[in-house]
Structures are given as structure tokens and as C-alpha cells.
């Protein structure tokens, strides 16, 4: 018998034993015979259920146990424990049956009913029945029970359904109720709405929503990058640069995502001298290998190959990186011939194999990794926790 089955037996056995002792200990003579009969029936049902378990018939066993264990104040917690056990095991249908049985009882006190509603809502949510779960969580808000938990689960439902206005509304209420800082989450909801408008070509409306995101969370890298992309689409490189340069102050780890756009905007404006100064400052901040490579490439174009190679070598001595080695090999190949060229090509291919398929982003919350940025982690569904990986194989 598995550990989970033994636990199931235990959580049922203890309340049954307590209930039997309570009924046998009653002193009222007028109820003694009836209680004795009930106790005998409970014991019979219990052993019948145990027999079903031993013969690997858990469905029949749970029906007998739930029937034998009358819903009373003393046994509600046991029913809840049974339901939670089944939900954790992925047997959501059984959890729903148990929690529905509880909710249908008129003898529960207010707290017990509220908890049963919450658990049933979790069952529905786990099984994808979001409309039913939503109704139960809204009922909890109406009766003033388990407010923070109900709001949290409603926010999760609206995110899954991509109903961003409702997600924003209930996230704001949750922040007010729980005292949690959910500004980053709400900024992402504004960004999601802005993305929908942008996809439809409504750029002005999208920009207004992104500005609201920045009012909620001035450190929103996503909002700044999105504003820059909209400005570039409108041909306004100056405005785009204003948004892009904000990224280094919001989260320097994301400057690698902003740099390609920054280089492009400076190129449009033909202000490479300013770009050189900006990249030199980023390199001094140790902002990652992307800044080093961008500066080296600009040196290659403006000053010459020798200076570009010297810069890469200097940076590799301080912060080794495979991408830096690969760029140095590229520069060395420009003047190589014959056997030297073949040897360098082998080195380049080796360097590329070391980073081929490697993740570039990592969730700081659950460890999910991927090749591209996810503003909401696919693993733990947290917002803003996926960031560029730094180190010899990354930035």
C-alpha cells in the first residue's frame, strides 16, 4: 500500500475512532441504544472501505469512507484534508465530490462554509472550470470571507483568460487588501493591453497605456522597450533613445536587450561619436558582453581592426566570455590565410558549439530557462522574474 493510501486511512481512522468514543461515552440513556447501533454501523462501513483499499478499489473505498464519516463540526477538517489530498494527487474529480458534499450541508458554520467554498473553487480552477471557480471566489468576496485568497485566485484566473482589465482591477484590490506591493504585476497588465492595441495598429492608444504602466512602476523595462519600439515604428529615433536610455537605470541586466535598438537609432541620427561615448560608459559599468561587442564593432568601423582587437583582448582578461572569444576569432580571421585560417575556423566552431542551444534567460524564482525573454515565466507564472544570464556563457 502506498504512503498516500496509508495517509488516507489515517485521516479517516482518527476521526472515526474519536467519533466512536464520543458516541460510546454518552450518558443519556434514551440515546444509548441508537448511538450503539450507529457506532456499530460506522465500524462496519470503515472495515468495508478498508477492504476495498486492500483490493485496489479506491473509488469504492472513498464512497464508503465519505458515507461513513458524517459531516459534523468535528469531521469537517477531515473532509477538507481528504479533498486536498486528492487534488494534490491530481484526482480533482474526487476532490470536487468531497468539497461539493461539504458546501451542500446546511449545518456548517460560516467559517467552515467559507473554507469549503475556497477549496471547491481551487478544485474547479485546477480542472480548468474557470467560470465556476470565478463564481465561488466572487461569492467569498460578497460574504467577506478569505478575501486575500479569493482575490489572488481571481487575478490568476483573469490572467489565464487574458482578461487584463479585470486582472488589473482585482490586482489593485488585492494590493489594498493584503498590503503586498504588486506594482510590477500591474505594470505588466498595462503592457499586455498596450500590446493588444499595438497589434491592431492603434499606436497612440498603446503609447498611452504604456505611459500608465510607467506611472505604476517607473522601473518597468518592458514598458520602456515597448515605448521605444513604437517610437521607432513612427520614425522618431530621438524619442526612442529617450526611452531606451532609461533601461540602464531601471535594470542594467536588460541593457543587452536595448543595445541593438540603441545602435540602430544612433545610426539613423548619424551620431556615432555620441554612441561611442555611451558604449564606453556602459563598458566601464561592466554592463555585459553585449556592450563590449557593440563598442568593439564601432571601433572596427570608425578607428580600425587593431583597436577593436585590443579592446576585446583587454575585456577578455577582465571578464572572459565565449561570445568575446568568438568575436576575437572573427577579427583574427580577417587577416589570416592558409593553415592559420583553418585553425582559427576550428576554434570558432568549437566556441560556437559551447554556447549552441544554451539558455540566455533564467527565472530567478523557479529556475526556468529559455532562449528568449518571457515577461511572465512559463514555469511559475511570475511576472518580471526572467532575466538575462550573465557569465562566461552568457552576458
What secondary structure does DSSP assign to 29-47, as a single string? HHHHHHHHHHHHHHHHHHH
| Helices 76-88, 110-126: crossing angle, 10 deg rounding | 10
What is the model's pLDDT at position 197?
Answer: 96
Pure H helices in the chain: 3-24, 29-54, 58-68, 76-88, 92-103, 110-126, 130-143, 147-160, 164-178, 183-199, 203-216, 221-233, 237-244, 247-250, 255-269, 272-284, 289-302, 305-318, 322-333, 338-355
In degrees, rounded to 5, the angle at the alpha carbon of residue 140 between the alpha carbons of residues 135 and 143 is 125
What's residue 160's pLDDT?
Answer: 94
Asked if 258 and 249 touch (Cβ cutoff 8 Å), the reply is no
pLDDT of residue 253: 92
- Hey, which residues does 361 pair with through a beta bridge? 370, 388
Count of CB atoms within 10 A of residue 22's CB? 13
Predicted pLDDT of residue 388? 92
Residue 74 three-state SS: coil
Task: Please list the pLDDT of the chain residue by residue as tens digits (395 residues).
Answer: 454 554 444 444 444 444 444 444 544 444 444 444 444 444 555 555 556 555 556 666 666 655 554 545 567 777 788 788 788 888 888 888 888 888 888 888 888 899 999 999 999 999 999 999 999 999 999 999 999 999 999 999 999 999 999 999 999 999 999 999 999 999 999 999 999 999 999 999 999 999 999 999 999 999 999 999 999 999 999 999 999 999 999 999 999 999 999 999 999 999 999 999 999 999 888 888 899 999 999 999 999 999 999 999 988 888 888 888 888 888 888 877 777 788 888 888 888 888 777 888 999 999 999 989 999 999 999 999 999 988 777 77
Contacts for 358 with CB less than 8 Å, ≥ 6 apart: 393, 394
pTM for the whole thing? 0.79
The whole-number pLDDT of residue 50 equals 53
Amino acid at each position: 500500500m502506498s504512503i498516500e493510501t496509508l495517509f488516507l486511512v489515517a485521516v479517516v481512522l482518527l476521526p472515526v475512532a474519536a467519533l466512536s468514543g464520543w458516541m460510546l461515552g454518552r450518558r443519556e440513556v434514551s440515546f444509548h441504544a441508537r448511538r450503539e447501533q450507529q457506532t456499530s454501523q460506522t465500524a462496519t462501513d470503515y472495515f468495508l472501505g478498508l477492504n476495498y483499499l486492500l483490493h485496489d478499489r479506491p473509488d469504492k473505498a472513498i464512497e464508503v469512507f465519505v458515507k461513513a464519516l458524517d459531516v459534523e463540526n468535528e469531521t469537517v477538517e477531515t473532509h477538507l484534508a481528504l479533498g486536498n489530498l486528492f487534488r494534490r494527487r491530481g484526482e480533482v474529480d474526487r476532490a470536487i465530490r468531497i468539497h461539493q458534499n461539504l458546501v451542500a450541508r446546511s449545518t456548517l458554520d460560516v467559517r467552515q462554509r467559507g473554507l469549503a467554498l475556497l477549496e471547491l473553487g481551487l478544485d474547479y480552477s485546477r480542472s480548468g472550470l474557470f467560470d465556476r471557480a470565478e463564481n465561488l471566489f466572487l461569492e467569498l468576496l460578497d460574504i467577506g470571507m478569505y478575501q486575500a485568497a479569493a482575490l489572488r485566485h481571481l487575478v490568476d484566473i483573469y490572467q489565464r483568460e487574458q482578461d487584463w482589465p479585470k486582472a488589473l482591477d482585482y490586482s489593485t484590490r488585492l494590493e489594498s487588501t493584503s498590503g503586498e506591493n504588486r506594482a510590477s504585476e500591474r505594470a505588466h497588465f498595462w503592457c499586455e493591453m498596450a500590446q493588444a492595441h499595438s497589434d491592431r495598429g492603434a499606436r497612440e492608444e498603446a503609447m498611452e497605456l504604456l505611459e500608465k504602466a510607467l506611472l505604476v512602476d517607473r522601473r518597468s523595462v518592458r514598458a520602456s522597450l515597448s515605448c521605444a519600439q513604437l517610437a521607432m515604428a513612427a520614425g522618431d529615433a530621438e524619442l526612442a533613445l529617450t526611452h531606451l536610455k532609461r533601461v540602464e537605470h531601471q535594470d542594467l541586466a536588460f541593457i543587452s536587450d536595448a543595445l541593438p535598438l540603441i545602435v540602430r537609432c544612433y545610426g539613423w541620427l548619424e551620431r556615432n561619436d555620441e554612441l561611442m561615448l555611451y558604449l564606453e560608459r556602459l563598458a566601464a559599468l561592466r554592463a555585459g558582453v553585449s556592450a563590449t561587442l557593440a563598442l568593439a564593432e564601432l571601433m572596427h568601423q570608425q578607428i580600425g581592426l587593431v583597436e577593436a582587437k585590443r579592446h576585446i583582448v583587454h575585456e577578455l582578461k577582465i571578464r572572459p566570455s565565449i561570445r568575446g572569444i568568438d568575436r576575437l576569432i572573427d577579427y583574427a580571421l580577417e587577416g589570416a590565410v592558409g593553415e592559420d585560417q583553418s585553425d582559427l575556423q576550428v576554434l570558432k566552431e568549437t566556441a560556437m558549439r559551447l554556447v549552441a542551444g544554451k539558455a540566455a534567460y533564467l527565472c530567478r524564482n523557479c529556475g526556468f530557462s529559455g532562449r528568449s525573454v518571457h515577461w511572465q515565466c512559463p514555469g511559475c507564472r511570475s511576472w518580471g522574474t526572467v532575466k538575462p544570464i550573465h557569465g562566461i556563457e552568457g552576458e
